[in-house]
Amino acid sequence: MKAKMVKKIWKIVSILILLVGGLTNSLFSEEANLFTNPGFEVDENKNGIPDGWNLMKVDNKPGDNFDAEIHMSDVAHSGKRSLYVKGKSARGYGSVHQSPIYLVPNSTNKEEKIGKPSFFYPHGTANWKIYTSKHYIFHYPPNSTRAKDMGQYLASYAGLRDETFEKSVSFLNINFKDRIDFFLYNSDEHGKQVTGRNLGFVKYNIPNHIYEIHEKPNQSPGHETAHILYTSFGTVTHSSLIGEGFAVYMNWKCGDNTFKGRLRRSVGSEEFKTLSLRDFEKNFRSFHCDFSYPLAGSFVGFLIEEGGLDRFKTFIKQTHPFEISIRQVYCRIEKRGIHYTTIEDIEKNWKNYIISHINEGVYKFSR
Ligand SMILES: [Zn+2]
């Protein structure tokens, strides 16, 4: 009786295997290759770059100015020729890519195929799994320890991030079409092993539409996305005060209360009373982040809410030193009787603004 039952189970299992096998085979045979010009053979405009492919060049470290070229070679393994990427100067990452294709659920095989490998850490994440949401491509290790049920976890994790993304682009009134590659590490240490950096950073290559988020587990959902969206304003200032302030302010605008308790403490501190805006901007990274981040958020909030979003967009595109840029864009604004004349004047108005608005709207302390 026992042997009979085992036999029966085996029969069912083998039918299932046959079914799955049949299904997979038929899927593959009907599926066209999702890449344009997959064999690199076609180059109709004869520019030496196979049609449909783009060259990606990314610096090893900022300012490297890495350069590379694509070459067609007559060496062929199959077909008529092959392709190689040659580095020309400095060190960096060179590669060819095609933009990812938007896919719908129940096309897992296709998603796995078109998922871009991690551009910046190709060796660490090449075998990672992929989950595509509306605005992100999530990459996670096959043995991810994030959750028992990764499917369920990813659906809610991605849902919250998609929602935050949409709130942000609608507030900023921008069109951001590219999907962001989003890496889910098991822990801070795991992230450091793979990337060589402390987690909580973004990487991007705008001409090639490559955007990556390397978030800390449990980081507030919109912060790194805000850093990515910031780049869509064009060439933007590298001021950390403005960049971090923008990300923190966007957290608040999207309903995330991160840093709010710390904002209240920072505003009430002696250090804030004597803080010079000039010094704060110049030495931003030398202040403790519990002090600097919420205050930066309040400063960007002050600029956007008092001067308007368009003026802020103009301001961040200024390539002059901070003080010159801010004076060019914000001095001589007349709003609610405010006339800014100097950076000290802006500083005084920001401090008064945040003290008087700390119990209101976006600055309101949740408890
Ligand atoms: Zn940040």
For ligand 1, the distance from its centroid to the CA atom of residue 199, given in whole angstroms, is: 11
Q: Which two tokens stand for residue 212?
A: 């990556």
For ligand 1, the distance from its centroid to the CA atom of residue 89, given in whole angstroms, is: 31
Q: pTM score > 0.95 for this model?
A: no
**Least confidently predicted of 111-125, 135-149, 154-168, 248-262:** 111-125
For ligand 1, the distance from its centroid to the CA atom of residue 9, given in whole angstroms, is: 55
For ligand 1, the distance from its centroid to the CA atom of residue 247, given in whole angstroms, is: 6
For ligand 1, the distance from its centroid to the CA atom of residue 47, given in whole angstroms, is: 40
Q: What is the pLDDT of residues 280-297, one digit of tens each?
A: 999 999 999 999 999 999
For ligand 1, the distance from its centroid to the CA atom of residue 227, given in whole angstroms, is: 7
8 Å CB contact between 130 and 115: yes
pLDDT of residue 134: 95
Q: Which two tokens stand for residue 184?
A: 């889910």
pLDDT of residue 37: 73
For ligand 1, the distance from its centroid to the CA atom of residue 146, given in whole angstroms, is: 23
**Comma-separated ranges of CATH 3.40.30 domains in the chain:** 99-233
For ligand 1, the distance from its centroid to the CA atom of residue 241, given in whole angstroms, is: 10
Q: Which residue has the higher pLDDT, 11 or 137?
A: 137
For ligand 1, the distance from its centroid to the CA atom of residue 202, given in whole angstroms, is: 9
> What backbone phi and psi angles, to 5 degrees, belong to 296?
-60, -40
For ligand 1, a single-atom ion, the residues with CB < 5 A are 244, 247
Using a CB cutoff of 8 Å and minimum separation of 24, what contacts does 198-204 make? 200/224, 202/227, 202/228, 203/58, 203/119, 203/120, 204/228, 204/231
CA distance 154 to 2: 41
For ligand 1, the distance from its centroid to the CA atom of residue 345, given in whole angstroms, is: 27
**Least confidently predicted of 10-24, 221-235, 280-294, 309-323:** 10-24
Q: Any idea what DSSP says for residue 233? A: G
Look up tokens 């609610």; give the residue.
Answer: 336
CA distance 53 to 209: 13
3-class secondary-structure state, position 321: coil
For ligand 1, the distance from its centroid to the CA atom of residue 79, given in whole angstroms, is: 47
For ligand 1, the distance from its centroid to the CA atom of residue 209, given in whole angstroms, is: 20
Using a pLDDT cut of 70, give the percent of the chain over it. 75
For ligand 1, the distance from its centroid to the CA atom of residue 245, given in whole angstroms, is: 8
For ligand 1, the distance from its centroid to the CA atom of residue 180, given in whole angstroms, is: 16
For ligand 1, the distance from its centroid to the CA atom of residue 233, given in whole angstroms, is: 17
CA distance 236 to 259: 24
CATH of domain 99-233: 3.40.30
For ligand 1, the distance from its centroid to the CA atom of residue 223, given in whole angstroms, is: 6
For ligand 1, the distance from its centroid to the CA atom of residue 206, given in whole angstroms, is: 18
